Structure 1
Amino acid sequence: MADTHVRPNVLFVLTDQERYDVSAPDGPPVKTDAMDALSSDGMRFTRAFTPISICSSARASLLTGQFPHGHGMLNNCHEADAIRANLPSDVPTFSELLAENGYDCTYTGKWHVGRDRTPEEYGFSYLGGSDTHHDDIDEAFEEYRRERGVPLGSVDLEEVLYTGDDPRDDDGTFVAAKTSIDVEATRAWFLAERTIEAIEAHADDGGEFDGVDGDGPFFHRADFYGPHHPYVVPEPYASMYDPSEIESPASYAETFDGKPRVHENYLAYRGVADFDWELWAEAVAKYWGFVTLIDDQLGRILEALEEHGLADETVVVHASDHGDFVGGHRQFNKGPLMYDDTYRIPLQVRWPGVVDPGSVCEHPVHLHDLAPTFLELADVAAPETFDARSLVPLLEGDEDGHGRDGSGRDDGDWPDSVFAQYHGDEFGLYSQRMVRTARYKYVYNGPDVDELYDLEADSGELQNLIDHPDYERVRREMRKRLIEWMDETADPNRGWVPDVLLRASRDGG
């Protein structure tokens, strides 16, 4: 157990649609000094995954410690086809429990877990920074921009890229651009500034912020609106990475042979069917620049912790709600394609005095495992509704991963696989389930062909081995694992999907 006599502060930085590889040591040449520092000073997780690759659903899972089928937010809440417009008020969240147990909880930036219910209804004091697309909670950033003489919507953009037949025509989806504003006028800078002001107030160092009383411990959540598209960045980030020097990933060789039909359909749906690598490299360069812009803001936040004497008593966590294709498998954004591009996420944790600096955890973990983790750090029991495990045993260096579930019960050794799902987005409902081990990934696609990948032989997930005779044993084992996950998590589809899978196995499928 964590030291119950000293409850640490927690600074949680969540990015939006950040790929795992951009901050990985063996990833592309993206400058991520602050994230690298968290890894060198703390623990880096190599196999962290989102339970679902869509914003509202993943963020609701993070709050509730449940898989999406548990909390019911199956797709994005702002869309016309939203299954639920808000997270139900009777579902327990880690933030409410922290607030009830003495934590001063503050929040800046993206929310996207409801149209009407905001962080204020879940134990947080909201300090501003929302945008009007996903959330319309406050006007703080809009006022900030007006004061700087660059109102929102008034700035000319260069190097603009859109989806569709003409990549320079704004009839398509806005992908990327260079903006003429200075760094201090970006939303990323503003969110970091608000977070720094909150740190000052939490430190009782003369800072003032409504909802912050300076009494510890605190939990602050900083949610950046990026590197989600549109990848709009100012100099020096706009030209930091040369598109001509960016190599295409292995998955760019995608042919869609043997894949579910929806994969190729998504090229046209997203408007990128005619994108060549030259266009994708342009988008990737801006995406990388966006990552570095946010990383620099994280660096400013970490410096503030040091300056105010809070670094040694604050657990710092960086993660993302899910990843981004950015040309991987020739795709844009995300969707019913359960590749690592969008399901594998970065996760770094610095816990001074507890986590060994430079440690690496290879145990598979879920994003929503952070919910019981935050509660255990605070010496607060997680509710029975949580379907996640606290990461504290892993952070404390338990090599066997002998962990506790969300309620603190001894739950045996750490699982050797992760479970994920997808329920569709504006393209239409499309039920999927996925189980992934260190080597294999199996995807159940209800209305189409299933998928099986040997990640050791095919890291780009290009060859679907679902019908390969040499993988019959693997196919059976992975289907069995999926059934076990569905049973363990009370997945409503367990009423009929297991029968389908077992019958397919008996029939040689």
Structure 2
Amino acid sequence: MADTRPNVLFVLTDQERYDCHVPESSVDKEPEPPVETEAMDRLSRQGARFEHAVTPISICSSARASLLTGQFPHSHGMINNCHEDDAILANLPPGIPTFSEALADAGYDLTYTGKWHVGRDATPEEYGFSYLGGSDRHHDDIDEAFREYRRERGTPLEEVDFEDEIYTGDDPRDSSEGTFVAAKSPIDVEDTRAWFLAERTIEALEAHVEGATASSVEDGSTEGGKRGDGGPFFHRTDFYGPHHPYVVPEPYASMYDPDEIEPPDSYAETFDGKPQVHENYLAYRGVEGFDWKLWAEALAKYWGFVTLIDEQFGRILAALEDLELAEETVAVHASDHGDFVGGHRQFNKGPLMYDDTYRIPLQVRWPGVTEPGSVRREPVHLHDLAPTFLEIGNVDVPDSFDARSLVPLLEGDDAPADWPESTFSQYHGDEFGLYSQRMVRTERYKYVYNGPDVDELYDLEVDPPELRNLIDHPEYANVRRTMRERLIAWMDEADDPNRGWVPEILRRAD
């Protein structure tokens, strides 16, 4: 009997803000963003868009480990980035069930290209995937495929002279210190890693149609025998961007005019009533001296990076159509977390649980199942995709997952009666040491527990940029109490190790 389970194409962007591509039909009050994202917008029109999706944590390795395991970070243990010297874990602990291994065991042919960042030693190969290349040396050093591709094209990675460079530190044009923020690259679009990853993805799709094995894609050939199980495929493409450095070639480098970019409302941040670490982070990240003119220049490159990736995503979706795979393939786009890019005057991410970094884009097109153009307002997590992929593949969800399948929502049904009215996120620290945070977010309110400092409460309806901390406002006493009880309930449900002492502190605070 033929296996009729759908294929899955999963595209994960790296540090993409949720507000880069809100379609005109959005029911939110947000203005239409000026970023050109034709492919992502088309996916929303043809499928479902989740308006209130959040990451469980705004750290790359942690979020990606949650996505793989369906668990909150405190459960899988990778609570900060695995490549840093102070990493709590260099690799995921052995024995934790993953959605990918379950799909592979159930007959799916899994391929992977691009960023990994879920282990220094363990690679996608250990989790059911065949890795098809595209890694970089900073976060992963799995293969030489992209570097060899560039050498063959005559544009070695090490020999590119950037223009219009921006660095953190006292002198934003001084490349000898600070973090590389943005630049224009003189290379062709075909020399970018984004182009290369799209190309490898298209090759993987072609190989599926031609009946080739995953290993034949790996060695550059699409010849070979058919897969022995005849099962469907799951392909994952992880773009290295729009994570900094925001380095793009023309036409993307000058696609957005910095002089025409207005500061976001959150740029008016004063840090009044906020945890001290928020203001400290300006100096820690080296952007204390950045003015809006410099941020606008960086943001223009970031937007250009988003459009570059979107166009490569468009090439992938076009290949699905050309190969007559679109109707039998579930296409999913999400991001591991967001990016400040000047929001709240900040750079990158950190112990600041604003929507800039915790709210993410999430779109799913499932032909014949998901109503085109549907908008789901239920609160969902990034790692809810793990059980979703398993249910799509008719595979049992492990008991270890701290997540819910999105399939009922994708099928257009009302949310199950027990669907949570909030999301739960956490932070444990990254490069500068451990720092305990927990967040509960509803459509209207956000409450942040800061272990070492003042807590935060925001009314997202009247204060979308999250500028005014209402934690001590007398008119919000009932809201604060309710949100704290929501947080306590989440900590209990998720077996948060801090539930032994934090709930009592919160109840005494009221």
Match for residue 217 of structure 1 among 228, 232, 241: 232
Deviation at 1:216, TM superposition (A): 3.4
Match of 2:56 among 28, 51, 57: 51
Q: Is the 8 A contact 2:133 2:142 kept in 1?
A: yes
Aligned twin of 2:242: 227
Spell out the pairing of 1:17-416 with structure 2 (5 A cutoff): 17-25=15-23, 26-170=31-175, 171-204=177-210, 208-210=216-218, 213=226, 215-399=230-414, 401-402=415-416, 412-416=417-421
Partner of 1:153, secondary structure, is: helix
Taking structure 2 as the reference length, what is the TM-score of the superposition?
Answer: 0.95
Give the conservation status (yes or no) of the 8 Å contact 1:205–1:308: no
Number of corresponding residues: 492
Mapped contact 2:3–2:231 kept (Cα < 8 A)? no
Equivalent-residue separation in structure 1 for 2:207 and 2:95 (angstroms):
31
- Distance in 2, matches of 1:38 and 1:205, equals 27
Following superposition, the deviation at residue 89 of structure 1 comes to: 1.8
The one-letter code of the counterpart of 1:234 is P
**Alignment correspondent of 2:26:** none
Deviations 1:28-85, CA, capped at 9 Å, x for gaps: 2100000011000000110000000000000000000000001000000000111100
| Deviation, structure 1 residue 5 | 7.0
Secondary structure of the structure 1 residue equivalent to 2:401: coil
Q: Could you say what secondary structure the match of 1:131 adopts?
A: coil
2:8 to 3, 7, 10: 10
2:276 and 2:420 map into 1 onto residues whose CA distance is 32
**Distance in 2 between the 1:173 and 1:187 partners?**
20
Between 1:362-371 and 1:205-214, the stretch displaced more is 205-214
Q: How far, CA to CA, are the matches of 1:159 and 1:153 in structure 2?
A: 18
Preserved CA contact (<8 Å) 1:18 1:226: yes
| Structure 1 residue 210, shift from structure 2 partner | 3.5
Q: CA deviation at 1:27?
A: 3.7
Cα distance in 1 between the residues matched to 2:333 and 2:274: 33
Which one-letter code corresponds to 1:494 in the other structure?
R
Q: What residue is the counterpart of 2:27 in the other structure? A: none
Change beyond 3 A, Cα 1:446–1:373: same
1:406 maps to what in 2?
A: none
Q: In structure 2, what is the Cα distance between the partners aligned to 1:180 and 1:124?
A: 34
Whole-Å Cα distance in 2 between the matches of residues 236 and 296 of structure 1? 12
Q: Distance in 1 between matches of 2:292 and 2:4?
A: 52
Aligned equivalents of 2:267, 2:59: Cα separation in 1: 22
> What's the offset of the Cα at 1:204?
1.5
CA distance in 2, matches of 1:443, 1:298: 35
Q: What TM-score, normalized by structure 1, do the two folds share?
A: 0.95
Instruction: Look up the SS of the partner of 2:470 in the other structure.
Output: coil
Taking only aligned residues, the RMSD between alpha carbons, in angstroms, comes to: 1.3
> Shift of residue 93 of structure 1?
0.2
Report the secondary structure of 2:17's partner residue. coil
Aligned counterparts of 1:192 and 1:477: Cα–Cα separation in 2: 46
Partner of 2:28: none
What letter is aligned with 2:79? L
- In the alignment, the residues of structure 1 paired with residue 500 and residue 379 of structure 2 have an alpha-carbon distance, to the nearest angstrom, of 27
CA contact (8 A) 2:131 2:218 kept: no
Structure 1 residue ranges (4+ consecutive) displaced by more than 3 angstroms after TM superposition: 205-208, 210-216
Offset, 1:413: 2.8
- Contact 1:42 1:349 (8 Å CA) reproduced: yes
Aligned partner of residue 218 in structure 2, secondary structure = coil
Letter in 2 for 1:448: D
Quote the Cα distance in structure 2 between the aligned partners of 1:6 and 1:386.
26
Q: Which amino acid aligns with 2:392?
A: L
Partner letter of residue 197 of structure 1? E
Partner secondary structure for residue 458 of structure 2: strand
Query: Which whole-Å CA distance do the structure 2 matches of 1:130 and 1:477 have between them?
Result: 45
**C-alpha distance in 2, partners of 1:5/1:217?**
7
One-letter amino acid of the counterpart of residue 12, structure 2: L
Letter in 2 for 1:202: H
Structure 2 counterpart of 1:473, from 468, 471, 478? 478
Matched residue type, 2:120: R
1:202–1:216 contact (8 Å) kept in structure 2: no
Deviation by residue 1:297-352 (Cα, 9 ceiling, x = unmatched):
00000011111110000000000000000000000000000000000000000000
2:3–2:232 Cα contact (<8 Å) kept: no
Whole-Å separation in 1 of the counterparts to 2:207 and 2:142: 22
Cα separation, 2, equivalents of 1:336 and 1:295? 29
Q: Which moved further from structure 2: 64-73 or 18-27? A: 18-27
Distance 2:383 2:158 in 1: 35
1:453 aligns with 2:458: yes
